[in-house]
Amino acid sequence: MPSVGMVTLVGAGPGDPELLTMKAARLIQTADVVVYDRLVAPAILALAPVGAEMVNVGKRTHHHPVPQEEINEILVRYAQAGRDVIRLKGGDPFIFGRGCEETARLSEAGIPFDIVPGITAAQGASASTGVPLTHRGLARSVRYVTGHCKADEILDLDWDGLADPETTLVVYMGKASINLIATKLMAHGLQPDMPVLAVASATSPKERSVTTRLDRIEADIAESGLESPIVFIIGHVAGLAESRIPMRLISQARAMREAETFHA
């Protein structure tokens, strides 16, 4: 019997390969097996050593070719065969990444595991657009929620608590339910003109964003043609996107840094 391998859940970040942590990059380069999600950047997958087995278990809305329960068993089987497994997840494994379900199954099977955090989509979108998630005088707190329910259950969130004008609300996986979310928030007191920033494919070359308001979000998103994955930032801070001043400064700094790297 081979010795039991180890499974490491690794956050691949929001899209830009350079946002991968040093620890994550080092571990990927030593993997026997890489089990990865749909949104992991090809440049990150390319870090795996020649000969590593690459297992695609990617899911998208209403299309789960490999159910979560089967993913759990894949991790167990490879580890029981003595293989060291990197489980690559977009963003952070423990922020809407179902990482706890996987570690629970590994623990049950007696498989050693570790977790390497990653930059979550909210942070990536904030940095790439120059829009902060908190700001003195605008937002004293931030909350992350999912717009997607297990097995398409009814979306039942703490609407009273979420409709706080001094809180930035970040909605993951919310494209299909954003109109319901906006309607519920307005019904519980959030003003119709509350700014909303929608960011698609944050930090990647395909990134696009739309600035709108709560009462127009469904129509504006439909007109924009933004494709998932989309992060919605709802709150007064989203209004800063309209100035475009933060983004211009960030773009200038990036251009200067890239030019220096190129000429070095």
48-77 confidence digits (pLDDT tens):
999 999 999 986 555 557 899 999 999 999
Q: Give the pairing of strands 113-116 and 230-234.
A: unpaired
Mean pLDDT of the chain: 90
Which pLDDT value is given to residue 23? Answer: 98
- Least confidently predicted of 97-101, 168-172, 180-184, 244-248: 244-248
Angle at 135 between CA 96 and CA 98, to 5 degrees: 5
Residues 92 and 118 sit within 8 Å (Cβ to Cβ): yes
Predicted pLDDT at 76: 98
Phi, psi at residue 48, to the nearest 5°?
-65, 145
Res 253 pLDDT > 70? no
Q: Read off the pLDDT band of 155 (50, 70, 90).
A: confident
* 238: DSSP letter: G
User: What percent of the chain stands above pLDDT 70?
Assistant: 87
Determine the length of the chain. 264
Catalytic residues: 37, 59, 173
- Report pLDDT for 148: 82
DSSP 181: H
3-state SS, residue 10: strand
Total-model pTM = 0.88
The edge-to-edge listing of strands for the beta sheet with 113-116 is: 53-56, 33-36, 85-89, 7-11, 113-116
Q: Which two tokens stand for residue 54?
A: 């690459």
Residue 154 has what pLDDT? Answer: 80
Per-residue pLDDT band for 262 (boundaries 50, 70, 90) equals very low
Calpha distance 53→200 (Å, rounded): 30
For 104, other C-beta atoms within 10 Å of its C-beta total 11
Helix (H) / strand (E) element for 218: namely: helix 217-224
| Percent of all residues in the chain with a pLDDT value above 90, rounded to a whole number | 82
DSSP strand pairing (208-213 vs 195-200): antiparallel
**3-state secondary structure at position 187:** helix
Residue matched to tokens 């209403």:
62
Buried b or exposed e, range 141-153, using 16+ CB within 10 angstroms? ebbbbbbbeeeee
